[in-house]
Structure 1
Amino acid sequence: MVLQYANNGDLRNYLSNNFPKLNWATKIRMAKEISSGVNFLHSFDVVHRDLHDKNILVHDDRLMITDFGISKSLENSAKSINGGTPAFSDPQYLNNPYTYKRNKSSDIYSLGVLFWELSSGIPPFKKTDPTNIAISVIDGIREAPINGTPVDFVYIYCNAWDGNPELRPKIAEIRNKL
């Protein structure tokens, strides 16, 4: 297997090193690039199942989704307790890892958390004890919007991380609103 080198590392490190100089046009472009990658996967009925800031690589300031180790086609997707980063995981999955089958809506939840991170520059639940993150997500606790974030962007990510998977937008809706 041959993989492209990402000269700016992963999104978490990129934001940590560059956040103060990122304007909203750049952050929205980054959100569009991640959304395009998710749209591509979903167009083939593939669910990533582990979207988070360390699985988004940055090369020449362009974002790429990586780590498809637990990705599955919807047709072949089985229930699984493998993978998932609690701060970015669908609360339905965290609450029922043995019975909940992750789906496109699960990726949308993760995308919402990624968008919040783009607006804040810090990982979600950074101030929360790591052993309590899953409980917080299940209980519906979300990070507060960051002052100065465009209201339309807040609307997009708050809808994406809705606790009810049926209420989350589809990827096409998100792309249209960006």
Structure 2
Amino acid sequence: MAIHLKIYNESDAIRFTQDPETLSYMMVLKYAKDGNLREYLKINFNNNNWYQKLFNLLHLSLSLMYIHELDIVHQDFHPGNILSSNFKYSFQISDFGLSKLIGTNQNNPEKKNIVGVLPYIAPEVLSGDEEYTKAADVYSLGIIAYEIVTGFPPYPDIPHDKDLAMKICNGLRPKIPFHTPKLITRMIMRCWDARVTHRPTSKELRNELDKYIDDYSDYLNKRIKKESEIAIQIKKAEEFSANQESTNTTTTTITTPLNYQTHPQAIHTS
């Protein structure tokens, strides 16, 4: 509860109530009408253009930066813990039950326990070499960014077991489609770099994405004569997608859910 109070400010309207029978105290939070990010992407991904993807990536990095500036490590960062009433405008990172303040519980005998949802856990944590750190949260952000860009969850067609954990520790990562803008691909791959010190910070990601969305907005609004690199790459990605759709005999609408097979032992939310 202390971490929730540290993170959420008055605008998030946290209130407390009490069960009249048990006298237990409870927090009252805003209802997330759109549900979590995984549910939203499965149904609405085809309605998201590249501006919306950049906006969501920027907001995600900004939210994580705010948490990290409070010296908090989330430790359970995945799409099931990203909630919203309307993902087109904003969302909140939730579920800080496994989170910790940096510098606390150093003598906790359970500190090396691995917690979280397997595809989003950094390899250094899976291997037991390191504890959860801000860099481990950034790794999780990289996997979530892959989902925002592609619409697909990581490793959906295989069991999420010890074998997958070993493969992740040995370098397995989701496959980013080749037509994805290279600037975005490189950013995601830096986030899930096995070398912890090579990962960007959440603040660096925020700054990078802030520039991308500014440059792309200038292109959309015709405020500049020379196109930026991100605008050129997005235009190529959109042209490729348009060509794919024109050769696809299956009719797809903006409300058509993404079609993929999920293994019964594949788990993407907690």
TM-score by length of 1: 0.94
User: Contact (CA 8 Å) 1:47, 1:74: kept in 2 or not?
Assistant: yes
Letter in 2 for 1:63: F
Other-structure match for 2:54:
28
Residue 43 (str. 1) matches residue 69 (str. 2)? yes
Describe the SS at the equivalent of 1:113: helix
Corresponding residue of 2:127: 95
**Could you tell me how far apart the structure 2 residues matched to 1:77 and 1:102 are?**
13
Cα deviation, 1:84-132, whole Å, max 9, x if unaligned, reads 1110001000011xx6221100000000000001111111011222223
1:68 is the counterpart of 2:96: yes
Cα pair 2:62 2:203 within 8 Å, conserved: no
Q: Which residue of 2 aligns with 1:127?
A: 157
Tell me the secondary structure at the aligned position of residue 57 of structure 1: strand
CA distance in 1, matches of 2:198, 2:114: 25
Q: Within the alignment, does 1:173 sit opposite 2:199 as a pair?
A: no
Q: Tell me if the contact between 2:82 and 2:93 (Cα under 8 Å) persists in the aligned partners.
A: yes
RMSD: 1.3
Structure 1 counterpart SS, 2:35: coil
Query: Displacement, 1:21?
Result: 1.0
- CA contact under 8 A between 2:155 and 2:174: conserved in structure 1? yes
Considering only CA atoms, is the larger Rg found in Structure 1 or Structure 2?
2
Q: 2: CA distance between counterparts of 1:75 and 1:149?
A: 39
1 CA distance for matches of 2:177 and 2:35?
25
CA contact (8 A) 1:10 1:57 kept: yes
In the alignment, the residues of structure 2 paired with residue 136 and residue 66 of structure 1 have an alpha-carbon distance, to the nearest angstrom, of 29
Runs of 4+ in structure 1 off by over 6 angstroms are none
Secondary structure at the counterpart of residue 46 of structure 2: helix
Is 1:163 aligned with 2:191?
no
Kindly, what percent of the aligned residue pairs are identical? 33
**TM-score under structure 2 length normalisation:** 0.63
Q: Could you tell me how far 1:77 is from its partner in structure 2?
A: 5.2
Gaps of 5+ in 2: 1-26, 210-270
Distance 1:151 1:133 in 2: 27
Distance change >3 Å, CA 140–CA 7, structure 1 → 2: same
What is the deviation of 1:148?
A: 3.3
Find the aligned partners of 1:72 and 1:114 in 2 and give their Cα distance. 21
Query: Which secondary structure does the structure 1 equivalent of 2:116 belong to?
Result: coil
Q: Separation in 2 of the partners of 1:25 and 1:5?
A: 26
For residues 130-149 of structure 1, what are the structure 2 equivalents within 5 Å? 130-131=160-161, 132-149=163-180
Matched pairs, number: 176
Contact 1:119 1:146 (8 Å CA) reproduced:
no
| Alignment match of 2:84 (pick from 58, 75, 83) | 58
Q: Could you tell me which of 15, 20, 29 is aligned with 1:3? A: 29
